[in-house]
A and B are shown apart, each in its own frame.
Chain A
């Protein structure tokens, strides 16, 4: 079924084929509906937007910019983390900066080198850890800390339906169900001043839809990939899910929709988990010290020793 006489550019899971213009409308409406349905953004916000220069975050910024134009009390500021991955993040951050300049949105960049003493590339030379583990811990830490300093009422991220599906399945496969309680389109409690609430307006958009939107709206940059991603567990789950989606269209929607049905129960069940504060930096922590501080200590110890990989 075609939307109109124009040439279609995408076939949706439900079988509908949309042209460029109707797809753009469909996609933006879907994001706005997600924002309303899950009550992601209020009338007045100092909204942070996490950008990496990739298609997801630029698409998000483009749509939130439209929202902010219609609602001047929603103020946007972009924030980016420079992990220090040569040949990858240095390039994507140039794209991010150019796009923010074009939209006239301020971009604040924080680096692992300045905040933790060395870029990720060097961390991986002195410590034998999985790249995405340490990278993710430091990124979440900095985003929360800097969002507070910048006075954000919320932080929007470019997570899409595929990202969420992967996280849900990873937590299932690794028996980490308590981590799933922290997923969903809106994470964190508004009243807790130590966590900046995170929202995911692209929650119901597939990666293919996001890429298509970015392409037809001229915000898709050349493909670049983190050199560390091939090794990750997430990448393997992603490939498995895509194989399933090709055989059984709608699989990803089903995973997320069924997850949304049990999410309130999960949140209820794990709500008592106590939050401590890091004795070193005062950021939220599960034990005496937060994971970021623990890794900084390890890095400082390891800096002067040779790397020995234990198999």
Chain B
């Protein structure tokens, strides 16, 4: 399945291919992003790492690191 992911730190939207039944955690692993450093939102709601992702979901990764 294909997922649209917007990563705020890079200000970029990416399309990621994932196996069916993948979780937020799988997505982050695939993108090589440390789960400690982001929160993940879907339709403006935060979702936890074990949440399943569906085809065509619009996901946003919000960076938690301080900007300086």
Contacts and interface: CB of A to CB of B under 8 A. Distances in A.
Contacts, number: 72
A21 to B, nearest CB: 13
A273 interface: no
Interface in A139-172: 160, 162-163
A11 interface: yes
Nearest to A245: B36
Contacts of B64: 207-208, 210-211
B62 A211 contact: yes
A242 B37 contact: yes
B45 A242 contact: no
Contact of A226 (B11, B50, B63, B68): B68
A10 B49 CA distance: 8
Nearest to A57: B66
Contacts of B11: 223
Categorize the interface residue count of chain B.
Answer: 20 to 34
Interface in B29-68: 34-37, 39, 41, 45-50, 62-68
Contacts of B50: 11
B36 A246 contact: yes
Contact of B48 (A9, A210, A245, A246): A9
Contacts of A92: 67
Given A9-B46, A223-B8, A246-B34, 15 more contacts: A10-B46, A17-B48, A55-B66, A160-B66, A208-B37, A211-B62, A211-B64, A215-B46, A216-B46, A222-B8, A223-B67, A225-B68, A228-B68, A242-B34, A242-B37
Interface of B: 8-9, 11, 34-37, 39, 41, 45-50, 62-68
11 contacts: A160-B66, A162-B66, A208-B36, A212-B46, A215-B41, A215-B46, A223-B9, A223-B63, A228-B68, A243-B34, A246-B36
